Structure 1
Amino acid sequence: MSIGVTLAAARHAAGMTVAQLSGRTRIRETVIYAIERDDFSLCGGDFYTRGHVRNIAKTLGLDPDAIVHQYDEEHGGVPLPVRAAAVFQAESTIKLRERRSPNWSTAMAIALAIVAVFGVTRVMSGSGETITTAADLKPTTGPTVPATPKPSTHPKAAKPVSDLVTLQVKANKPSWLEVSDANGKHMFRGTMPAGTTSTWKARKEMRVTIGNAGGVDLQVNGKHVGVPGKIGQTVHRSFGPEAPGSR
């Protein structure tokens, strides 16, 4: 889970608004909103970003060192001092490859191999004519009896099932959600007010992160799933298309 999602979920679990968090941390509301979206451009650089993240995490009861460590891991780690000699001294000599003329013999061999494969394929595919052998010519000694057709043993093809996933979320209490499709593309990210209902549709898979699992009620592919967790609990769920014959 990203830093922004973790901090937003902790703030919702604490029942604290952005304005209240801003008053306790002395961090502007616009900066807090940006951090919860994993946008650290308003912080003024990595040094100030670490300070803001540490301050918010400590105020929300999280481990500030763990959050700052996650930020360093996701953004290249703590910068190390660089020696001037290492900057101006070349570590290796760049060698230029010699320009070679094209190998026409290899190209001709590849072309002949392609032609040969094409010819073999045409011969094996045949012209569609049926060849009758001597073993198939049997003398007729009496009236011809029509053969009884045998029942087909091939199984019937399964009825195609749609790969569409439909997710409906009803917010009984204010809840923070992040909804994305199978490719990780965000379809929604924000807070659902109490009493609202939203529906999303995606192909193959639907992924959702809920910051207040006990405050929502889920319905997937027209079936009631219920409450996915407890009040203040952050959960991650993924749902696929409806299974064949489930209705």
Structure 2
Amino acid sequence: MSLQTRIRESVIRAMENDDFTPCGGNFYARGHIRSIARVIGIDPEPLVREYDETHGGAPQPVSAATAFEPEKPVSFRERRSPNWTAAMAVALALIAIYAVVQVVGGDPENRTAQKVAGTPGQQAMPAATPKPTPSARPSDPVASAPRRTVELRMKVKRASWVSVRDDKGKVLFSGTLRAGAEREWTTRKKMVVVVGNASGVRLTVNGEYLGAPRDEARMTRLVFTPQGLVRA
């Protein structure tokens, strides 16, 4: 059993005697129970519930988020949105330059004919004034409406414990997701996510693929808003 679960033999013997102290805490004890149950082919959840009832109940997401703060911040490279205002200004400048070139340059033969046709008793017809190029109205929208929700899509590459809460602390999900699972959650204003195996999941937030929050198999706490990641 120790070879198949990679749990020390002394820890397994202590668990057989209802001594979970060598496990190093409730979180690891639950993980050992699930690992042993999967090896022997039984459902681990009833055993985990029995353990929680004996040792003070299941963990709350708030306490988990407080207990496992990352040692260093996690940064994602944010994708810049297109600058439509600058693009509009460049387009108007090009149109204005083209209009000036047409007025100042014109056709040389046409200018010569106008000079010859002009007489002291006649006044040359003024050149037609080019119509001004209509500019964009201030009221025209140049950007889409601001996002009001947080949308998270998670793909699980390796089994991981996950907790998801909204801005009011309501638990949207708390449990272990197996490899190959895909889940989606949507909240308003803010979403707090705690991942037990950060390198085993891939995240897409508000339609932008962020990948794995860490390269290590460590617990990580992330806070998202409609604008993206704000704190890790």
| Shorter-chain TM-score tier | 0.3 to 0.5
Q: TM-score, normalised by structure 1?
A: 0.40
TM-score, normalised by the number of residues in structure 2: 0.43
